[in-house]
Amino acid sequence: MERSFPALLSALSLAVLRWWFARMRARRERTRQRLSLRQMSDQELNDLGIGRSEIEAWVR
């Protein structure tokens, strides 16, 4: 049985919204991680084996 156009459009809209919310959730998580790493001292970062200049690469 084929879906009607409004039902298909509704399903597509929900899929797009789910994708968008997942992207925003991932973005917030990266922001939290970036802030946590920036708040660490140089010694703590050194213990993790990364430098302050490498924070952006680690968060991606």
pLDDT tens column, 3-27: 787 887 888 899 999 999 999 999 9
Domain limits for position 41: 5-59
Cα–Cα distances (Å) from 42 to 2, 32, 46, 48, 49, in that order, read 60, 18, 6, 10, 10
Domain count, the chain: 1
pTM: 0.70
Q: How far apart are CA 54 and CA 41, in angstroms?
A: 14
In this predicted structure, what is the pLDDT of residue 1?
A: 53
Q: How far apart are CA 30 and CA 26, in angstroms?
A: 6
Average pLDDT, integer, range 28-44: 94
Measured over the CA atoms of residue 48, residue 50, residue 55 and residue 56, the dihedral's sign is negative
